[in-house]
Structure 1
Amino acid sequence: MHHRSDLGALTGATVLVTGGAGLIGSRITAQLRDLGARPVVLCTMNAYPEQVYADLFGVRVGDPDVILGDVRDSVLVRKLVAESDYVIHAAALADVAACTRDPLAAIDTNVAGTQSVLDAVAATERVRRMVFVSSASVYGNGNPEETDSPDLLTMRQLLESVHGRIPPQFHEFTRTRPKSVYGNTKAWGEEQTALLLGQVGTSYAIVRYFSVYGEPQTIKPGSHSWVVAWFTARAHLGLPLHLNGGGGQVRDMVHVDDIAEGTLRALVSPRAHTETLNIGTGVPTSVRQIAQLVQAHYPNTPFLETPLPAGDPLGGYAATRRMENILGWKPKVTIAEGVTRYVKWLQDTPAAAPEWLRREHTAA
């Protein structure tokens, strides 16, 4: 099933990772180093405090191959792309709530920034492939009018009994229906990647990440993303777990180590050329189920039902057959295992439960 030989193509290669200092980018660059590649990181490094990048993600300003800069800086981007064998474009304003609050900032980073990277990749013949990092948010709540094949009906009945509604399975070929500004910018980025790189004949692949979690993820104020990190940090401090809308939303939770490996496989697998691939587990998990997995480690943690935020989709889960066929791979970490790993990591790294949340706890 696993084609290690594909990843061997990265040995000795220079790989530009935009947004490479973030949670996912830092895991991608760590795996690239393990494979003998030279990752070059371009990042503004303004999404978190500096010590988060240094102490949790292991990325430091001043490191060789860590370039503090913006993807909208077309001169800088063109120079870095011209020196790269592969490009992974992961830089984005990736917080759904932040994009909803400030749509122009989302357009600036996620649309203008993507255009800058695409222009640079299209202008050079050196780049062997670019991966555009997209998101399951392009699916929104799915396509309710679509009918499922008979073999899915028993699965649907089972899901309905567990979740109270039938969460949709998202297939790569279904029409995108984003329900947030963030999802909309990602849908545009997919189309623009295919349009521009298709015209010049540069190889590309598009990966749609489902819900990414796992150590060393840490939460940000004013965000409702990153449910495992939120629930664990709150439980760790003795705070109740907020179940937005009762916690019935469904997510396909993918550990960040699997996300990173799936991205690298899409970068080099011969069959991934011009493909759009879900990176997911194919397992639907409700937010309430995640809360229960965290509560099992912190038994006295209460639940609190809270309203559903705007733009928070009811969600669904990934169809994974295409990913498995094309990449010859599937994610390894189960949600139960991943939550256990995160709890242990937080207990070993108590500073990852941020100070502002501690203050909220003290005030409470």
Structure 2
Amino acid sequence: MHHPSDLSALAGSTVLVTGGAGLIGSRITARLRALDARAVALCTMNAYPEHVYADLFGVHASDPDVVLGDIRNTALVRKLVAESDYVIHAAALADVAACTREPLAAIYTNIAGTQSVLDAVVATDRIRRMVFVSSASVYGDGDPEETDSPELLTMRRLLESVHGRIPPQFDEFTRLRPVSVYGNSKAWGEQQTALILGQVGTSYAIVRYFSVYGEPQTIKPNSHSWVVAWFAARAHLGLPLRLNGGGRQVRDMVHVDDIAEGTLRALVSPRAHTSTVNIGTGIPTTVRKVAELIREHYPRTAFLATPLPAGDPLGGYAAIRRMENLLGWKPKITVAQGVARYVEWLRNTPAAAPGWLRESTAA
């Protein structure tokens, strides 16, 4: 009998990880291989330049367990799912800004692609469990006025008049109120997973990632996600840190190592069957606090207040009691430790501060 959080249950199994070449997917596949599971990564490998996958994420297209392909290729997905024991569906257009600029691209990948994976899981009786990777973006900014009692609401308004906005804590039963195309697509994916797999009795779990960061994350142009990577790269090159909206947005920062661990625990824990679980630390961190942690390592760094981009939520933080109960686990890496690790990695991997950012420095 396996303990709820005993990952040894995965030894000898085959796990299909869609999006398996990305930052999170590559961490999950590496962890699976360390557990003696076969991890098959399905990925387009077009979100970053090729050298990022090979040099930073350690993913090579020549690896027989790396399959170059699109999750909307239904024949390919059906073949891979039919050869697997578990599925982790992490493939997505996960950049909030990119989804906002190109809503159809988000629909093609996050909605049509998810349906393709669900259809493949339903077509076989071999899958022990599918984990659908969702996001805290489904909560948006929350709406405390909807859930607070009149007494709590009065207290909240009084505190906010003195201290400013008090960030909401999101539990898994908080009403979903996405404020971005990306969040909307993830909310649909959650509901569709429960609907389709619930009808046929296939086990599933839904994990809602909060703000993922950690080495070897690298930045992309025209994106305002990945705040630790952005701030560290800019500070490393002597650029000011842009605090969108003054940096008052709140994030629950979760290191990618903890994200991978939590995802695999959701894959095997008996209590996670048909459950939705936050993967967060339960600690609210403002974007400004992240900037201050970076500045501890780069003391000459300046801050620059900039407007809040469209679709960038003011955010909140995770309630984690359900995660602790269902997975028998909680994240281990603090944001100060994680930032220090990222800065050390960046100093040892200076090419991770990309060329186009260096050119803007020179200009």
Aligned to 1:26: 26
Please give the root-mean-square deviation of Cα atoms over the aligned residues, in Å.
Answer: 2.1
Deviation of the 1:77 alpha carbon: 0.1
Partner of 2:140: 140
Among the aligned pairs, what percent are the same residue?
82
- Are residue 119 (structure 1) and residue 119 (structure 2) matched? yes
Q: Distance in 2 between matches of 1:144 and 1:200?
A: 36
In structure 2, the CA distance between the partners of 1:112 and 1:156, relative to structure 1 (3 Å rule), is same
Once the two structures are superposed, residues 122-151 of structure 1 have per-residue CA deviations (whole angstroms, 9 ceiling, x without a partner) of 11110000000000000000022244589x
Deviation, 1:161, is 9.9
For residues 231-285 of structure 1, the C-alpha deviation after alignment (integer angstroms, 9 at most, x for no partner) is 0000000000000000000000000000000000000000000000000000000
Q: Matches of residues 2-151 of structure 1 in structure 2 within 5 Å? A: 6-148=6-148
Q: Is the 8 A contact 1:280 1:320 kept in 2?
A: yes
Partner of 1:233: 233
Report the residue type matching 2:31 in the other structure.
Answer: Q
Give 1:243-254 correspondences, 5 Å limit: 243-254=243-254
1:284 maps to which residue? 284
CA shift for structure 1 position 4: 8.0
Deviations 1:53-112 (A, max 9, x none): 000000011111000000000000000000000000000000000000000000000000
SS in 2 for 1:296: helix
TM-score by length of 1: 0.96
Instruction: Tell me the secondary structure at the aligned position of residue 144 of structure 2.
Output: coil
Question: What 5-or-longer segments of structure 1 have no aligned partner?
Answer: none
Contact 1:163–1:248 (8 Å) recurs in 2: no
Q: Aligned AA for 1:229? A: A
| 1:259 equivalent in alignment to 2:259 | yes
1:216 alignment partner AA: P
| Cα shift readout 1:144-188 (whole Å, capped 9, x = no counterpart) | 2244589x99x979x969973110000101110000000000000
SS of residue matched to 2:134: strand
Letter in 1 for 2:22: G
Q: Distance in 2 between matches of 1:178 and 1:265?
A: 26
Quick one: which amino acid aligns to residue 335 of structure 1?
Answer: V
The letter of the residue matching 2:274 is: T
**Residue aligning to 1:208:** 208
Identify if the C-alpha distance between structure 1 residues 184 and 163 changes in structure 2 by more than 3 Å, giving closer, same or farther.
Answer: farther
Secondary structure of the 2:41 match is strand
Whole-angstrom CA distance in 2 between matches of 1:275 and 1:4: 14
Q: Distance in 1 between matches of 2:156 and 2:169?
A: 10
C-alpha contact (below 8 Å) 1:3/1:329 kept by paired residues: no
CA distance in 1, matches of 2:112, 2:90: 14
Query: Paired residues, what number?
Result: 361
User: Are 1:326 and 2:326 counterparts?
Assistant: yes
- Per the TM alignment, residue 332 of structure 1 is displaced from its structure 2 partner at its CA by 0.2
Following the alignment from structure 2 to structure 1, what is the Cα–Cα distance between the partners of residues 117 and 358?
39
Letter of the 1:321 partner, please give it.
Answer: R
**2:177 paired with 1:177:** yes
Whole-angstrom distance in 2 between the partners of 1:19 and 1:221? 20
**C-alpha contact 2:5 2:327 (8 A) present in aligned 1:** no
2:355 is equivalent to residue 355 of structure 1: yes
The separation in 1 between residues aligned to 2:77 and 2:25, in whole angstroms, is: 17
- For residues 197-224 of structure 1, what are the alpha-carbon distances to aligned partners after superposition, in whole Å with 9 as ceiling and x for unaligned? 0001000000000000000100000000
Report the Cα distance in structure 2 between the residues aligned to 1:114 and 1:346, rounded to whole angstroms. Answer: 34
Any unmatched runs of 5+ in structure 2?
none
C-alpha separation in 2, matches of 1:180 and 1:215: 26
Separation in structure 1 between the aligned mates of residue 77 and residue 309 of structure 2, nearest angstrom: 36
- Distance change >3 Å, CA 128–CA 358, structure 1 → 2: same
SS in 2 for 1:76: helix
TM-score by length of 2: 0.96
Match in the other structure for 2:271: 271
Q: Secondary structure at the match of 2:260?
A: helix
**Local SS of the residue matching 1:145:** helix
Q: Summarize the Cα distance change of 1:257–1:4 in structure 2 as closer, same or farther, 3 Å threshold.
A: farther
Amino acid at match of 1:241: L
Q: Which residue matches 1:315?
A: 315
